[in-house]
Amino acid sequence: MTRPLLHALFCGAFAFSASLSAPAADQLDVVASFSILGDMVREVGGDHVAVTELIGPGGDTHSFSPSPSDAGRLSNADLVVFNGLNFEGWMERLIDATGYAGELVIASQGVSPLTGAEHHRADDAHEKHDDDHAGHGHAHGGFDPHAWQDLRNAEIYVANIRDGLIAVDPENAEDYRANAERYTGEIRALDGRIRQLIDALPEEATVVTGHASFGYFSHAYGLRFIAPVGLSTESEASAANMGELVRMLRAERVSALFYENMTNPSTLRQLAEESGLPIAGTLYADALTADGEGSTYLGMMRHNAELLDQALSTAN
């Protein structure tokens, strides 16, 4: 199927991006919305795929705005993989604009979504903390998109990606299955390791991050997270939220503050100054890093758990 109008519109930008990452003739051209999914697709697809990420390492998917060259990338893809749960609020418009009619993988399909209500944000500070997360009923802000922060959800992501690759390239189904199985084994092993690390931390250990991106981590591994803003980095901390948070940091046993690798650190710096608490490092939240241990999904999850372990086991 050709789309002459679109090609005319985006020809220049497309030609440029294609020259940067042209897939080999026998490779699938897979577009992943952001870096974490890009890494998962490479793990499952192996040599059969050439992956383009719309939002690369360190990028903020919440505040992303697609460009004509992104449209060009999509219109030429064999497969598009995105997170869903409204993480990429711009995706539907982008798909409409490009007329992309190929296979879509919603990586989070099948996970049990959490809602913003499960998060311990500053404005939830008056709520008693308990481990009963059954209260899905009183959502006040839609689903939490950050499902990859629970490695058991990553197993579902991997299965969805595997099935999408098989749907567009059934010839290599066996390879996709084998890669997914090997990768899932690594995911499970790391899940066990993280559970061990976090279980050993003091029960009251509490962590502050830039936005509410660790709800699934908290739900899965049992650590308490609070943040000055909600589920999207696009929201801004209100003076009331900041005031409430500083009061909480003083009143409760908050152990450490952490930067996130893709958000502006100014709010965190302000909180650290006002509370006198240390900033213990950078957690990888919504993006991989360009190099180092955070450049893969498993490396990022391992880094986060080890950093939390270091910061919280010595702080108490």
Q: Using CB under 5 A, which residues numbered 124 to 153 contact Zn ion?
A: none
CA-CA distance, 150 to 153, in Å (whole number)?
A: 5
Which range of residues in 210-218, 246-254, 270-278, 306-314 is near Zn ion by CB under 5 A?
A: 210-218
* Cα–Cα nearest to 39, from 151, 161, 150, 144: 161
Q: Which of 147, 286, 289, 294 binds Zn ion (CB under 5 A)?
A: 286
Q: In terms of CB distance, is 46 or 58 closer to Zn ion?
A: 58
19: exposed, middle or buried (C-beta count within 10 Å: 0-12, 13-18, 19+)? exposed
141: left (phi over 0), alpha (psi -120 to 50) or beta: left
Q: In terms of CB distance, is 100 or 221 closer to Zn ion?
A: 221
DSSP-derived letter for residue 277 is P
CB of residue 213 to Zn ion, shortest distance in Å: 4
Which range of residues in 90-98, 169-177, 259-267, 282-290 is near Zn ion by CB under 5 A?
A: 282-290
Helix (H) or strand (E) holding 274: helix 266-275
Q: Using CB under 5 A, which residues numbered 30 to 89 contact Zn ion?
A: none
Q: In terms of CB distance, is 169 or 286 closer to Zn ion?
A: 286
Which range of residues in 131-139, 238-246, 253-261, 278-286 is near Zn ion by CB under 5 A?
A: 278-286
CB of residue 62 to Zn ion, shortest distance in Å: 5
Sheet with 254-260, strands from edge to edge, namely 120-121, 224-227, 206-208, 254-260, 279-283
CB of residue 144 to Zn ion, shortest distance in Å: 9
CB of residue 126 to Zn ion, shortest distance in Å: 24
Helix, strand, coil shares, percent, the chain, to 5 = 50, 15, 35
Q: Which of 33, 108, 153, 213 binds Zn ion (CB under 5 A)?
A: 213
Q: In terms of CB distance, is 103 or 286 closer to Zn ion?
A: 286
Q: In terms of CB distance, is 53 or 286 closer to Zn ion?
A: 286
CB of residue 16 to Zn ion, shortest distance in Å: 29
CA-CA distance, 86 to 88, in Å (whole number)?
A: 5
Give the chain's end-to-end CA distance (angstroms, integer).
Answer: 62
Q: Cα 98–103–107 angle (5° rounding)?
A: 105
Q: In terms of CB distance, is 191 or 286 closer to Zn ion?
A: 286
CB of residue 154 to Zn ion, shortest distance in Å: 16
Q: In terms of CB distance, is 72 or 230 closer to Zn ion?
A: 230
Q: Cα 5–73–146 angle (5° rounding)?
A: 130
Q: Please give the backbone phi and psi of residue 209, each rounded to the nearest 5 degrees, phi first.
A: -125, 175
CB of residue 233 to Zn ion, shortest distance in Å: 6
CB of residue 110 to Zn ion, shortest distance in Å: 20
Q: In terms of CB distance, is 80 or 283 closer to Zn ion?
A: 283
Which range of residues in 1-9, 16-24, 281-289, 306-314 is near Zn ion by CB under 5 A?
A: 281-289
Helix (H) or strand (E) holding 54: strand 49-55
Binding residues for Zn ion, rule: CB under 5 A, are 213, 286
